[in-house]
Amino acid sequence: MSKPLTAKKIAAELVKLPGWAWEHDALAKTFEFADFRAALAFMVRAGFEAEELNHHPEWMNVYKTVAVRLSTHDAGGKVTALDVELARRFEKVLA
Protein backbone atom coordinates (compact mmCIF):
# COMPACT_ATOMS: atom_id res chain seq x y z
CA MET A 1 0.00 0.00 0.00
CA SER A 2 1.29 3.45 -0.93
CA LYS A 3 1.82 6.06 1.76
CA PRO A 4 0.20 9.49 1.31
CA LEU A 5 2.55 12.47 1.30
CA THR A 6 2.27 15.11 3.98
CA ALA A 7 0.91 18.56 3.13
CA LYS A 8 4.41 19.97 3.63
CA LYS A 9 5.96 17.47 1.20
CA ILE A 10 3.24 18.10 -1.41
CA ALA A 11 3.81 21.85 -1.16
CA ALA A 12 7.56 21.34 -1.61
CA GLU A 13 7.00 19.17 -4.70
CA LEU A 14 4.55 21.64 -6.25
CA VAL A 15 7.28 24.29 -6.31
CA LYS A 16 9.02 22.08 -8.88
CA LEU A 17 5.83 21.44 -10.90
CA PRO A 18 4.73 24.70 -12.56
CA GLY A 19 1.00 25.00 -13.08
CA TRP A 20 0.12 22.02 -10.90
CA ALA A 21 -2.12 22.47 -7.85
CA TRP A 22 -3.20 20.35 -4.91
CA GLU A 23 -6.99 20.21 -5.13
CA HIS A 24 -9.39 17.83 -3.37
CA ASP A 25 -6.65 15.32 -2.43
CA ALA A 26 -5.17 15.21 -5.93
CA LEU A 27 -2.53 16.89 -8.05
CA ALA A 28 -4.32 18.74 -10.83
CA LYS A 29 -3.42 20.64 -13.96
CA THR A 30 -5.15 21.69 -17.16
CA PHE A 31 -2.93 21.62 -20.21
CA GLU A 32 -3.77 23.82 -23.21
CA PHE A 33 -2.60 22.98 -26.73
CA ALA A 34 -2.80 24.56 -30.17
CA ASP A 35 -5.51 22.16 -31.33
CA PHE A 36 -7.13 18.77 -30.78
CA ARG A 37 -4.35 16.92 -32.60
CA ALA A 38 -1.71 18.32 -30.24
CA ALA A 39 -3.86 17.54 -27.18
CA LEU A 40 -4.40 13.98 -28.35
CA ALA A 41 -0.69 13.52 -29.11
CA PHE A 42 0.09 14.61 -25.54
CA MET A 43 -2.41 12.11 -24.16
CA VAL A 44 -0.87 9.27 -26.15
CA ARG A 45 2.69 10.10 -25.07
CA ALA A 46 1.61 10.71 -21.47
CA GLY A 47 -0.37 7.49 -21.55
CA PHE A 48 2.80 5.51 -22.27
CA GLU A 49 4.43 7.12 -19.23
CA ALA A 50 1.42 6.24 -17.07
CA GLU A 51 1.46 2.66 -18.30
CA GLU A 52 5.18 2.34 -17.60
CA LEU A 53 4.51 3.31 -13.97
CA ASN A 54 1.29 1.26 -13.87
CA HIS A 55 -0.33 4.40 -12.49
CA HIS A 56 -3.16 5.84 -14.50
CA PRO A 57 -4.53 9.37 -14.40
CA GLU A 58 -8.04 10.63 -14.20
CA TRP A 59 -8.19 12.89 -17.21
CA MET A 60 -10.56 14.54 -19.62
CA ASN A 61 -10.04 16.03 -23.05
CA VAL A 62 -12.20 18.72 -24.61
CA TYR A 63 -10.93 19.95 -27.95
CA LYS A 64 -7.53 21.49 -27.18
CA THR A 65 -7.45 21.08 -23.39
CA VAL A 66 -6.53 18.11 -21.24
CA ALA A 67 -7.47 18.25 -17.56
CA VAL A 68 -5.49 15.85 -15.36
CA ARG A 69 -6.01 14.69 -11.77
CA LEU A 70 -3.54 12.40 -10.03
CA SER A 71 -4.14 10.52 -6.80
CA THR A 72 -3.42 6.99 -5.62
CA HIS A 73 -6.35 4.64 -5.02
CA ASP A 74 -4.53 2.28 -2.67
CA ALA A 75 -3.55 5.27 -0.52
CA GLY A 76 -7.17 6.22 0.03
CA GLY A 77 -7.31 8.56 -2.95
CA LYS A 78 -4.50 10.74 -1.55
CA VAL A 79 -1.34 12.08 -3.22
CA THR A 80 1.72 9.83 -3.08
CA ALA A 81 5.25 9.91 -4.51
CA LEU A 82 3.88 8.01 -7.51
CA ASP A 83 1.58 10.91 -8.37
CA VAL A 84 4.47 13.35 -8.15
CA GLU A 85 6.59 11.14 -10.41
CA LEU A 86 3.81 10.88 -12.99
CA ALA A 87 3.31 14.66 -12.94
CA ARG A 88 7.05 15.07 -13.55
CA ARG A 89 6.88 12.67 -16.48
CA PHE A 90 3.92 14.51 -17.96
CA GLU A 91 5.96 17.71 -17.83
CA LYS A 92 8.87 15.98 -19.59
CA VAL A 93 6.48 14.88 -22.36
CA LEU A 94 5.95 18.58 -23.10
CA ALA A 95 9.67 19.34 -23.35
CATH for 87:
3.30.1360.20
pLDDT at 2: 87
Q: Is the dihedral of CA 18, 19, 24, 26 positive or negative?
A: negative
pLDDT of residue 23: 97
Which pLDDT belongs to residue 95?
83
Domain count, the chain: 1
- Is residue 67 one of the residues assigned to a domain? yes
Residue 57 neighbours by CB under 8 Å, 6+ apart: 46, 50, 68, 69, 70, 86
**Does some domain include residue 46?**
yes
Q: Which is it for strands 26-32 and 58-62: parallel, antiparallel or unpaired?
A: unpaired
- Is residue 2 a part of any domain in this protein? no
Tell me if 20 sits within 8 A of 53, measured CB to CB: no
Say if 1 falls within a structural domain: no
- Pick out the chain residues at pLDDT < 50: none
Give pLDDT, residue 1.
Answer: 72
Give pLDDT, residue 6: 98
C-beta neighbour count of 14 within 10 angstroms: 17
List the domain range (segments joined by +) for residue 27.
Answer: 7-94
